[in-house]
Structure 1
Amino acid sequence: MNAPIGLFYGSSTCYTEMTAEKIRERIGADWIDIHNVADGDIALAEQYDFLIFGIPTWDYGELQEDWENIWDQLAQLSLQGKTAALYGQGDQEGYPQWYQDALGYLHAQLLACGARLVGYWPAEGYEFEESKGLTDDGSHFVGLALDDENEFDLSEGRLDKWCAQVMREFGLQP
């Protein structure tokens, strides 16, 4: 662990994992250590000042199984003084009532652990019915919302903008 940013993700279909790799490509390999929550210790997050978390929403607004398996450990972390950004994968067409719900669950959990959250993303341009991943006023997602199932063509541009935004909000310059 040499990088200033720790990126933690869980992935079942590789979309969230591929997004982690794309984030590291954009920001730079020297800036990010990537951790798959299925293989590593989530407590390592306490060793970073800057964090990025990636989580997909499954089925009817459920946590992806790797995140579900470590959820109790995540709740025990002390993240005071840490700054975190989130990204999520979801399916607007197949599950429009639960789009990015897991993003909202993770956001709430990290706030409870003391983290300061950045990287909020405009909800404009998305087509879904409901989401627990929105800010209270519904204008933004609590992290970057991606739908590589239905809007893969929009993901690259969204990632470019979001990575630049997060680095500014972290106060880091690659």
Structure 2
Amino acid sequence: MNKIGMFFGTETGTTRLIAKKMQKQLGDDVCDKPVNVNRITPEDMLKYDALILGTPSYGIGEIPGKGASSGCFEPNWEEFLALLPADVDFSGKRIAFFGLGAQERYADRFCSSLFALVEKFKGWGAEIVGDWPTDGYTYDHSAAEVDGRFIGLLIDQRTQGMYTDERITTWLAQVKPLLLEKLTAEA
């Protein structure tokens, strides 16, 4: 695929909204329309060499899904990941991640679900890009913070919605060339 694939899980629709904002900034010629993971097959995702994946945070750092641990009402990442074959291989794929969470309400686990999702894809051989500074956020703990930086773009639409567009623009300026480089190398 010569475009970036964008997929997300969502419960309230906010992750979908952020994905749509990102895709609009990237443009139809660079990135396909974002699709909810509860509407795709593994093959739909695996055809891309460059991906942007987004997740809400539910539970206490678990991958969001209908399971008892995170308690989503709709199928989400947990259900999609269960569809992947045991020997799935994301080697050769470059992925940037974004996560949503509420830093004040869940200060003890802000966007921690993102870490669990990123670890899955790293374990399957994916190259992860797009870390993000922790400056400007107020929280006690986040599993998504590794070595003083977030492992992807974190969005708190609830209390910092006024920064969302600027954060998206800055982050996309960082990850777009890295993702396009992957597409050019594969062409």
Counterpart contact for 1:3–1:30, Cα < 8 Å = no
Cα deviation, 1:42-86, whole Å, max 9, x if unaligned, reads 332211110110001014333322112123334743111010000
Counterpart contact for 1:60–1:95, Cα < 8 Å = no
The reply to whether residue 106 of structure 1 matches residue 117 of structure 2 is: yes
CA distance in 2, matches of 1:117, 1:75: 21
Distance 1:3 1:17, change over 3 A: farther
CA distance in 2, matches of 1:98, 1:75: 30
Paired position in structure 2 for 1:43? 43
Q: Secondary structure at the match of 2:57?
A: strand
Q: Which runs of 4+ in 1 moved over 6 A?
A: none
The reply to whether residue 71 of structure 1 matches residue 70 of structure 2 is: no
Paired position in structure 2 for 1:124? 135
Distance 1:74 1:154, change over 3 A: farther
Cα deviation, 1:123-145, whole Å, max 9, x if unaligned, reads 1111111111112x2x1111000
1:5-154 equivalent positions in 2, closer than 5 A: 5-33=4-32, 34-65=34-65, 66-74=76-84, 76=86, 77-135=88-146, 137=147, 139-154=148-163
TM-score normalised by length of structure 2: 0.85
Counterpart contact for 1:59–1:95, Cα < 8 Å = no
CA distance in 2, matches of 1:146, 1:28: 21
CA distance in 1, matches of 2:17, 2:28: 14
CA distance in 2, matches of 1:62, 1:8: 18
Q: Give how far 1:41 is off.
A: 1.2
> For the pair shown, which has the larger CA radius of gyration, 1 or 2?
2
Paired position in structure 1 for 2:166? 157
Q: Report how many aligned residue pairs link the two structures.
A: 170
Counterpart contact for 2:61–2:116, Cα < 8 Å = no
Consecutive unaligned residues of structure 2, counting only runs of 5 or more, are 66-75
Counterpart contact for 2:60–2:113, Cα < 8 Å = no
TM-score normalised by length of structure 1: 0.91
